[in-house]
Amino acid sequence: MDNTNKKNLKPLLSIKDLRTIFQTKIGEVVAVDGVNIDIQHGEILAVVGESGCGKSVLARSILRIVPYPGFISHGSIQLDGIDILNSHENVMNNIRGDLISMVFQEPMASLNPVLTVGDQISEILVEHRPKLTSNERRQKVLEMMHTVGIASPENRINAYPHQLSGGMRQRIMIAMALICGSTKLLIADEPTTSLDVTIQAQILDLFKKLQTAEDMSIMLITHDLGVVAEIADKVAVMYAGSIVEFSDKLTIFKKTSHPYTIGLLKSLPQKNNSSSKEPLYTIKGMVPSLSEVLPGCKFYSRCPHALEEVCLGQEPPFEEITPGHWVRCYRLNIVNEKELSDLALKL
Amino acid sequence: MNIIKHGSQNKLFIIGLVILLPLFIFTLAAPIFTQYSPTTLNVEMKLMPPSLNNWFGTDEYGRDLFSRVIYGSQISMRVAAAATFSTVVLGVLFGSLAGFYNLADLFISRICDALLNFPGLIIGIMVMAALGQSEINIILAMVIMYTPRIVRVVRASVIEIKAMDFIDAAKVIGASNLRILFFHILPHTISPLVVQITFGFAWAILVESGLSFLGLGTPPPAPSWGNIISDGREFIRTAPWIMIFPGLMIAVAVTGLNLIGDGLREILDPRLRNTSQKVESTIG
């Protein structure tokens, strides 16, 4: 995106025209289709979208851990001048867990059940800071466990994952992600989805706090717009493998432009008119299967404003409608004024 | 520390240990506990029933059966231990390679399938016939027979664990393939492996006895449980003690080993431990 050049600031992570394909028996599935995205230093970018829109594959592409039979077919990913896609696997192993870390959705499944959490946290130091002695490692692990808000880390360091609660496990995962102390980008793949609401808030606070303290960027993958409103700086809305709208949080919520984003916001339950008998708004239809090759706009089949002669044919370009606000839609000026004012009321 | 604590609470493990420890002590300190040499002939004393002098009686050449059984356990245990150890080393090596790398799997699994298709005894007879009767060759035959089983067990658990989320998480923290294999995957294979090891050890004692019984095992006059039984089979009606005592020893050793195996499986797998000491969580 050009807006970064204008400010003359080099982005931390720059993804250009990324395309990740899964070669399956039924044909090619394009999970990530020409994504362009920049993450600035010290920024929280939320990637929002329905299940199956390619968010997680995008995150995995950044770390080059796309599971078989997926592969990155073209594009480029630059992290602070490092060419991720053309780096040797050994270089990648040094980057993973050190410069880029990732926190997964399900903390139970992401921790090895037969190793103590202390062992698992210090493993990263063994891998990335081989000069530390085991005592120094233990000290750092205890400090980190304290930082992520685990009370009496001395008692927990020898615990096995099943002996901890979900929130604690997620804190362990965060401790693992940040233990090296040089993390520049933290990718959080739906980090709060499996936690209950109070813990969600605590974990989000923790992210925010650590982000400021460690001066890193966070790429937060979520389908929860509440989470986005809570901590994101910028928002990228993903649909069927492409980014359809990108802007800062306020613009996304107040000057929503893409019909899909409008649909997402409208389908949030309202809190102030519980008396309303109106059924909850839903976006009709389903996310199209990524294996279908769709001519024109991918949202066509579900869009309330779709017009055959305009929207089918070429895929709409990703245009900057106001500075820093990018949208992929042909029908921007048709999008209903009333709908927008309704939305404004609701929010 | 943890393992010792859990071990002392595990009944199966303790019972197995109580059975096997005396056996091991007898075996290691055989000269202290025995009055007679296991190979000295004394024809005057042949086929004597158990008495205060000869606790287990004597055999057809008047050799003291107690000495023979105790010294025989040295050979049986030594052969079984050596065979089990080499089997495990090879099995874990090939099994984890096969589970982790698809290409290696192709070769290793086919070879194992082929070996598993031979009845064990046939392999034993083949090795003995080709290479001659010796302790080393018994061990070699057992390794050929048992390694494919260990390979299969290890391979199956490696494949199962490899697909789990925490392996992805390990990749994300930059762990190398070898590190993932040894640090993250292999600990998961311990519990099925330990069962196979104790079972294999017990099985090795039986195979050694079986081969010796057929005259293919430990060459006489050195005693082993199997060839003592083999020697005694002609006298089963007149002097049954020749077969009974080594047979009992085999039964006791195998039972003890199996109990220890079951106990170890419970001790080594954190998921099977009781959860009473679950750490209380502070945040929900």
Q: Is the pLDDT of residue A302 over 80?
A: yes
Q: Is the pLDDT of residue B42 over 90?
A: no
- Say what the pTM is: 0.73
| Residue B42 vs residue A316, higher pLDDT | A316
pLDDT at site B93: 93
| Cβ-based burial of B133 (10 A; exposed 0-12, middle 13-18, buried ≥19) | middle
pLDDT at site A343: 66
Cis previous bond, A317, omega within 30: no
C-alpha to C-alpha distance for A11 and A41, rounded to whole angstroms: 6
By mean pLDDT, which of A1-10, A101-110, A292-301, A313-322 is the weakest?
Answer: A1-10
Residue position matching structure tokens 């196979």: B196
Asked whether the beta carbons of residue A196 and residue B284 sit closer than 8 angstroms, the reply is yes
How do residues A76-105 score in pLDDT, each as one tens digit? 999 888 898 888 888 888 888 889 999 888
- Give the residue extent of every domain in chain A: 3-87+213-346
By mean pLDDT, which of A22-31, A252-261, A331-340 is the weakest?
Answer: A331-340
What ipTM was estimated for this complex?
0.72
- Which among A65, A94, A164 has the least Cβ separation from residue B172? A65
- Chain A interface includes B1 (CB < 8 A): no
CA-based nearest residue in chain B for residue A183: B173
Quick one: average pLDDT of B214-224?
Answer: 80
| Residue B220 vs residue A13, higher pLDDT | A13
Quick one: average pLDDT of A289-306?
Answer: 79
Say if CB B250 and CB B206 are below 8 A apart. Answer: yes
Residue range A3-87+213-346 in CATH 3.40.50.300: yes
A186 phi/psi in degrees, rounded to 5: -110, 120
Quick one: average pLDDT of A222-226?
Answer: 85
pLDDT at site A271: 64
Q: Is the pLDDT of residue B7 over 50?
A: yes
CA A139 to chain centre: 31
Task: For chain B, report the end-to-end CA distance as a whole number of angstroms.
Answer: 29
Asked whether the beta carbons of residue B184 and residue A112 sit closer than 8 angstroms, the reply is yes
pLDDT at site A297: 85
Quick one: average pLDDT of B230-237?
Answer: 83
- Chain B interface includes A163 (CB < 8 A): yes
Q: Is the pLDDT of residue A338 over 80?
A: no
Q: Is the pLDDT of residue A273 over 80?
A: no
Residue range B8-28+55-272 in CATH 3.40.50.300: no
Neighbours of A315 (CB within 10 A): 16
Of A236, A101, A93, nearest to A176 by C-alpha is A101
DSSP 3-state of A82: strand
- Give the residue extent of every domain in chain B: 8-28+55-272
Q: Is the pLDDT of residue A2 over 60?
A: no
Mean pLDDT of chain A: 84
Is the Cα torsion angle B89, B92, B95, B101 positive or negative in sign? Answer: negative
Quick one: average pLDDT of B60-69?
Answer: 82
| Residue B42 vs residue A35, higher pLDDT | A35
pLDDT at site A283: 82
By mean pLDDT, which of A83-87, B58-62, B78-82, B161-165 is the weakest?
Answer: B58-62
A228 phi/psi in degrees, rounded to 5: -60, -50
pLDDT at site B165: 85
- Chain B interface includes A79 (CB < 8 A): no
B interface test, pick of A104, A112, A186 with most B CB neighbours within 10 Å: A112
How do residues A106-144 score in pLDDT, each as one tens digit? 888 889 888 899 999 998 898 888 898 999 999 999 999
Residues of chain B positioned with their CB less than 8 A from the CB of A127? 173-176, 179
Quick one: average pLDDT of A167-192?
Answer: 88
By mean pLDDT, which of A274-283, B12-21, B152-161 is the weakest?
Answer: A274-283
Region of A310 (left: φ > 0; alpha: ψ -120 to 50; beta: rest) is: alpha
Say if CB B49 and CB B57 are below 8 A apart. Answer: yes
CA B218 to chain centre: 17
- Which among A94, A102, A165 has the least Cβ separation from residue B172? A102
